[in-house]
Amino acid sequence: MLLEMAAEGDPERIVLGSHDGGITAADLLERARRAAVYFEKSGAEVVGYFGVNSDVLPIALFGAALAGVPFTPINYRAPDEQLTGILGRVAGGLMVADDDEVDRLRACGAGNVVTKGELASAIAEPVTGEHPFVDPEEIAVLLFTSGTTSEPKAAVLRHRHLVSYIISSVEFLGCEPTEAQLICVPPYHIAGIAAVLSSLYAGRRIMYLPSFEAASWVRLATEERITHAMVVPTMLGRILAAVEDSGVEPPALRHLSYGGGRMPLELVERTLRDLPDVDLVNAYGLTETSSTIAMLTPDDHREAFASDDPLVRARLGSVGRPLPSLEVEVRGTDDAVLPAGEKGEIWVRGEQVAGEYVGNNVLTEDGWFRTRDAGWFDDEGYLYIDGRLDDVIVRGAENISPGEVEEVLMAHGAVAEAAVIGIPDAEWGEAVAAVVVLHDGAAATQDELQEWVRQRLRSTKMPCVVDFRDELPYSPTGKLLRRVLRDELAEAVGGAS
Amino acid sequence: MQLKAGTRLRSATDACEVVVVKAPAEPVDLRCGGHAFLPVDAEVTAESIESGFDQGTQLGKRYSDEELGLEVLCTKAGEGSISVGETVLDVKGAKPLPASD
């Protein structure tokens, strides 16, 4: 429906690709229709996307929607074991993949694989036929999201959630045709999906940079006259450095939004100083809420930055105010709503909030979703995030489950107990740290254990520091007190730097 | 008719289609071109547009009655105007949020 509206509203507007030769709205709709027919013929129950961003993504996304089947972008960096598990859960699916991923996909159990190139050829032919109207209750997108245990959960987003989010937060064709968005966030992240929908509905051209490299980003932003971009915290620091080094500032850039993890304050301030004409938006949202639920606007940023009042200045570290179409509350352990200034869990309710995993709807009886994020409101309704309640480490925009890394550490012969926690980090928001207790008489070095983890999981999950202790703190009920370790290590690291 | 967010409707008099963004708990006499809206997959009828209800609708605009708590988004434009009973709905002014994705 969103694509159809865009195609009807301004069919000749270039919505995807280069300003010089990109795909128009009408063209995208046509290709999506052809893709839908292809998907229907293949009998796929789910359309998967396994690879980096490309122009095929929106075609596959909308094609799946028109065909009435769920779309699931999958993390191509997932280790084989996890990938096999995921593929098992979407058996009966058709995977649209990068050429160099086909073998791996088949090896991990994917039955039906088509390369992006093959799909593009298959839809070169026009098709006829109407598409049956798709029920808004149908599942639009499945996104696998990590939690505290190593098994990822499949978050369910139905058409009505995504559509509601878009129509209540985006002005239809509110953009000039000259506006263009550089998308460099992974397709398997909610931001990657939301970006396609909101750009298209707003009439903002999408330009993909499949893998991030700072100088390329700056170059593409300049050549393609990019006006808008979304960055995760790690990208921003590198982009600012690249701008400084090259002396070239993308001339059309006027809007940067960021989110996905904690943005270090120094970086926000540096951006406000180095790029004063660029509007900054901090967007807080989750997969389960169809992305953004609160936002720190450009005015909020500038006002806070210019203020002498410490309370106002502090807002640069907040995620702003909830979207008007939603209700957000901070609640205590007894589920009671807390007043401003008190820390608790962030709860949210609204049409865009799905709060659902395959086989499990976790909304409360009256429709609230518990984010498992800790936070608090200030007196003016600005929301602050204080880490996760459930100990998931958010490094860059990646969720890392401590349990997974702990298991790997404990598989090492010398390690008796292991606790893995997130500690504040200027570049990544949070970094992975480990605290271990060795067996009596055993020996291991930090380097050894880091290498041990790196070989078994990805390098992003490798602890940046390993602290050796005689014992770990446990609660009276035997629960590992990660928060205590986190506080102790954060202090030690903070003190040292 | 009883409305809820996400309900899709079509006009009985012209090409207009809408999706409900916000709906009150009570039923609403929602019309286009002076005749009650139909479910979007209903048979196409061709009632004529009543005079006074012919200002037309625009694709992508939202029409609302704030007091009632009703808001609909026009997903296909048409010649009739949207009303609750005899009262034509206003176009909701654009107060766009900054882009976040």
Asked if CATH classification 3.30.420.40 holds for the domain at A393-496, the reply, yes or no, is no
Specify the domain boundaries for CATH 3.30.300.30 within chain A.
393-496
Question: Considering the domain A2-301 in this protein, what is its CATH number?
Answer: 3.40.50.12780
**Band of residue A394 on the pLDDT scale cut at 50, 70, 90:** confident
**Partner-chain contact A198 B101, CB within 8 Å:** yes
Q: Which two tokens stand for residue B84?
A: 């609750």
Within a domain: residue B56? yes
Three-state DSSP at A158 gives: strand
**Could you read off the pLDDT of A37-77 as tens digits, one per residue?**
999 999 999 999 999 999 999 999 999 999 999 999 998 88
* Residues on chain B touching A163 (C-beta within 8 angstroms): 6, 19
Which stretches in chain B have pLDDT values below 70? Answer: 94
| Residues of chain A positioned with their CB less than 8 A from the CB of B41 | 133
Start and end residues for every CATH 3.40.50.12780 domain found in chain A = 2-301
Measured in degrees and rounded to the nearest 5, phi and psi for residue A140 equal -90, -50
Q: What is the span of the domain harbouring residue B75? A: 8-91
Q: Which two tokens stand for residue B7?
A: 């309900």
The pLDDT of residue A181 is 96
What DSSP string describes A249-315?
Answer: --TT--EEEEESSPPPHHHHHHHHHH-TTSEEEEEEEEGGGTEEEEEE-HHHHHHHHH--SHHHHGG
Report whether A72 contacts A118 (CB < 8 A).
Answer: no
With CB atoms and an 8 Å threshold, state whether B21 touches A1: no
A43: exposed, middle or buried (Cβ count in 10 Å: 0-12, 13-18, 19+): exposed
Q: Is residue B99 part of a domain?
A: no
Which residue type sits at B10? Answer: R
Q: Using CA atoms, how far apart are residues A256 and A104, in angstroms rounded to an integer? A: 36
pLDDT at A308 over 90: yes
The reply to whether B91 touches chain A by the CB within 8 Å rule is no
Query: SS3 of B83, please?
Result: strand
Would you call A257 and B98 a contact, using CB atoms and an 8 Å cutoff? yes
Q: Which residues pair with A47 in a beta bridge?
A: A71, A94
Q: How confident is the model at residue A221 (pLDDT cuts 50, 70, 90)?
A: very high
- Which chain A residue has the Cα nearest residue B8? A136
Structure-derived torsion over alpha carbons of residues B15, B16, B17, B20, reported in degrees to the nearest 10: -170
In this complex, do A292 and B100 lie within 8 Å of one another by their Cβ atoms? Answer: yes
- Counting the structural domains of chain B, the total is 1
Residue A443 pLDDT: 92
Residue B27 lies in a domain: yes
pLDDT over 70 percentage in chain A: 96
pLDDT tens-digit map of A424-443: 888 888 899 999 999 888 89
Q: Is the pLDDT of residue A189 over 80?
A: yes
Cα–Cα distance, A88 to A101 (Å, whole number): 17
Q: What is the pLDDT of residue A497?
A: 42
Q: Is residue B100 part of a domain?
A: no
> In the sheet where B17-22 sits, what is the strand order?
B38-39, B8-10, B17-22, B70-76, B62-65, B90-91
Predicted model pTM: 0.82
Between CA A412 and CA A417 the distance in angstroms is: 10
B101 interface with A at CB cutoff 8 Å? yes
In-domain check, residue B18: yes
On whether any CB of chain A is under 8 Å from the CB of B21, the answer is: yes
Q: Does B41 touch chain A (CB under 8 A)?
A: yes
Confidence at A369, pLDDT banded by 50, 70, 90: very high
If you average pLDDT over residues A157-174, what whole number do you get?
Answer: 90
State both tokens at A494: 């903070």
CA distance A325 to chain B (A): 10
